[in-house]
Amino acid sequence: MTTPLQPPPKKNPQKRTVSPTRPPEMRSRASLGLQAAAAEGRFALQVCAECQTVQYPPRDACQNCLSTDMPWTDVSPDGELLAETTIRTSTNLYFRERSPWRTGSVKLDAGPVIICHVHGDCAPRSRVTLWNLLDRAGQATLLAVPQERTPLMEDDPQLRQMTADPKHRRVLITDARHPGTPALVKALKDAGAAMIFVGEAETWRPYPGRAALEEMGVDLQPLDLTDTASVQKLAGEYGGKTDILINNARFMRPGGVLERGDTAFAKEEIEVNYLGLMRLAQAFGPGMCARASDGVNSAAAWVNVLSVEALSNAPAYGCFNASNAAAFALSQSLRAEFRGAGLRVMNVFTGPTEDAWYQPLPPPKVTHGALAKSIVDGLQRGLEDVYCGDVAKDLHERFRRDPKVLERERTMAGDMA
């Protein structure tokens, strides 16, 4: 049974904040396929296309037939815990600071033997399932968990190292005016978030969601992403207690290049969707990085909510999507810049949401509840890339198969929005 995670005591300002340390990051190129699967929460291994031998550790040639064609394929994550140990001391600082650390070896039903982290609720020599998770270095590692869910299993100290679970953490949501914000606040509260702060632009202007936010007791703070001083002011007051930052701010109008006729809206889109992200990162990033190992409520994740059309554009929302593509590109740089501290960047790619700006589009659309659930679920599983809704999943799958084919099929005549 996992010991329930206790809320952290109030921070003692006289004590040194624990410097972020990370597990080993070096990996071979071959192993990065595991990382790509972990970013989306999948369990995949190399499988030989010629003889079907499942391989591990990652390699460049099949251990059975020397074929070099071994695509990463989702395989069964089930197996048996063969042996285990609890590491009590390590030459590596990260593990040394977190010992005791339970690890073991698992014989996978699919074939290979896998050295992995072992969840505290796994019984010795039991059947287990492997989860492919990103560790604090942003690298894929495998954790053996019991085959049946156990109560509070997310509180396991080793599992919590891999996730960005909102439980006992403080969350900043950047846009109170986004129609999905009340649903997001509710999902975070249900997930055990300790405090929720919400940024509010143009506070004098009324909007429908405000009553709901006030009712849920969130801390509304003035925040205008187009104004560097405003972002810096909030970071000065709240940067030291922002454990998870969810940037859901957006400025959007429909239309491609020719339909718009000028660059006025595009400037606004860039100001909010691209430069807004940059201002936030410059103001909040360094402080969050410094607190990435700061106990139960360490800074854990940075979340960007993006249109899935950032991957592949089409004219109906062509200019808005372009600003999202810029934000997506920026997020990749940011992810690499935060990685040294162990702070995770999670991009949530959503299909068209159920709100006024996407009104002319046919279903399926993403409800605010579904988007909120995806965000919280992604944090709890420690993901880097989340595709929310059927449209996003479909577009991502097509993107994975062939980005050029996708571009062409999305921009043929018809309703390819």
Partner 1 sequence: MGRRRQSYDGVVLACPVSIPYQRYSVDTAHWWIATALRETLKAAKLTPKELDGFSVSSFTLFPDTPVGLTQHLGLSPRWLDMIPMGGASGVVALRRAARAVQAGDSDIVACVAGDTNHIDSFRRMLSSFSRFAMDASYPYGYGGPNANFALLTDRYMTEFNATREDFGRICVAQRANALNYPGAIMKKPLTLEDYMNARPIADPIALFDCVMPVAGSEAFLVMTEDEAVRRDLPFARIGSAIERHNAHAEDPIQLRGGWTVDLDELYGMAQAAPTDMDLVQTYDDYPVISMMQIEDLGFCGKGEGPDFLRDKDMTITGDFPHNTNGGQLSAGQAGAAGGFIGLVEAIRQVTGQAGPTQVKDAKKALVSGFGMINYDRGLCTSAAILEAA
Of 62-81, binders to partner 1 (CB under 8 A) are: 63
Which C-beta is closer to partner 1: that of 75 or that of 184?
A: 75
The reply on whether position 114 binds partner 1 by CB under 8 A is yes
Choose the stretch contacting partner 1; rule: CB under 8 A; options: 109-117, 323-331, 375-383, 399-407. Answer: 109-117
For residue 407, the Cα-to-chain-centroid distance in whole angstroms is: 26
The reply on whether position 87 binds partner 1 by CB under 8 A is yes
The reply on whether position 301 binds partner 1 by CB under 8 A is no
Gap between the Cα atoms of 325 and 370, Å rounded: 22
| CB-based contact 354:365 (threshold 8 Å) | yes
Choose the stretch contacting partner 1; rule: CB under 8 A; options: 97-105, 159-167, 173-181, 403-411. Answer: 97-105
C-alpha distances in Å from residue 275, one per residue of 74, 164, 351 = 38, 25, 22
| CB-based contact 386:348 (threshold 8 Å) | yes
Order of all β-strands in the sheet with 54-55: 54-55, 44-47, 72-74
Choose the stretch contacting partner 1; rule: CB under 8 A; options: 46-54, 57-65, 218-226, 280-288. Answer: 57-65
Choose the stretch contacting partner 1; rule: CB under 8 A; options: 24-32, 229-237, 260-268, 338-346. Answer: 24-32
Which C-beta is closer to partner 1: that of 57 or that of 364?
A: 57
Choose the stretch contacting partner 1; rule: CB under 8 A; options: 111-119, 146-154, 256-264, 354-362. Answer: 111-119
Gap between the Cα atoms of 20 and 338, Å rounded: 11
- As given in the structure block, the two tokens for residue 374 are 């995806």
The reply on whether position 58 binds partner 1 by CB under 8 A is yes
The reply on whether position 27 binds partner 1 by CB under 8 A is yes
Burial class (CB in 10 A: 0-12, 13-18, 19+), 414: exposed
Select from 89, 148, 362, 412 the one that contacts partner 1 (CB under 8 A). 89
Select from 50, 71, 88, 397 the one that contacts partner 1 (CB under 8 A). 88
Select from 104, 254, 285, 382 the one that contacts partner 1 (CB under 8 A). 104
Select from 65, 82, 329, 416 the one that contacts partner 1 (CB under 8 A). 82
Choose the stretch contacting partner 1; rule: CB under 8 A; options: 112-120, 207-215, 292-300, 312-320. Answer: 112-120
> In 209-291, where does DSSP find H-type helix?
210-215, 228-238, 257-260, 264-269, 276-290
**Residues with Cβ within 8 Å of residue 213, at least 6 apart in sequence:** 176, 181, 182, 185, 198, 220
| CB-based contact 35:134 (threshold 8 Å) | yes
Tell me the β-bridge partners of 81: 106
Of 126-155, binders to partner 1 (CB under 8 A) are: 135, 137, 139, 141
**Residues with Cβ within 8 Å of residue 101, at least 6 apart in sequence:** 86, 87, 90, 95, 117, 158
The reply on whether position 40 binds partner 1 by CB under 8 A is no
Choose the stretch contacting partner 1; rule: CB under 8 A; options: 84-92, 204-212, 287-295, 407-415. Answer: 84-92
Task: Count CB atoms within 10 A of the CB of residue 396.
Answer: 19
The reply on whether position 226 binds partner 1 by CB under 8 A is no
Gap between the Cα atoms of 99 and 40, Å rounded: 28
| CB-based contact 50:43 (threshold 8 Å) | no
| CB-based contact 243:299 (threshold 8 Å) | yes
In the bound complex, what is the minimum distance in angstroms from residue 107's beta carbon to partner 1? Answer: 4
In the bound complex, what is the minimum distance in angstroms from residue 169's beta carbon to partner 1? Answer: 25
Which C-beta is closer to partner 1: that of 98 or that of 381?
A: 98
Select from 49, 66, 83, 405 the one that contacts partner 1 (CB under 8 A). 83
- As given in the structure block, the two tokens for residue 410 are 């999305």
Task: Tell me if the bond preceding 24 is cis, omega within 30° of 0.
Answer: no
The reply on whether position 24 binds partner 1 by CB under 8 A is yes
Select from 68, 86, 282, 333 the one that contacts partner 1 (CB under 8 A). 86
In the bound complex, what is the minimum distance in angstroms from residue 135's beta carbon to partner 1? Answer: 7
Among 181, 396, 205, smallest CA distance to 308 is for: 396
The reply on whether position 53 binds partner 1 by CB under 8 A is no
**Residues with Cβ within 8 Å of residue 64, at least 6 apart in sequence:** 48, 51, 53
In the bound complex, what is the minimum distance in angstroms from residue 288's beta carbon to partner 1? Answer: 24
Summarize as ranges the residues that interact with partner 1 (CB under 8 A): 23-24, 26-28, 30-31, 56-58, 63, 82-92, 95, 101, 103-105, 107, 113-117, 125, 135, 137, 139, 141
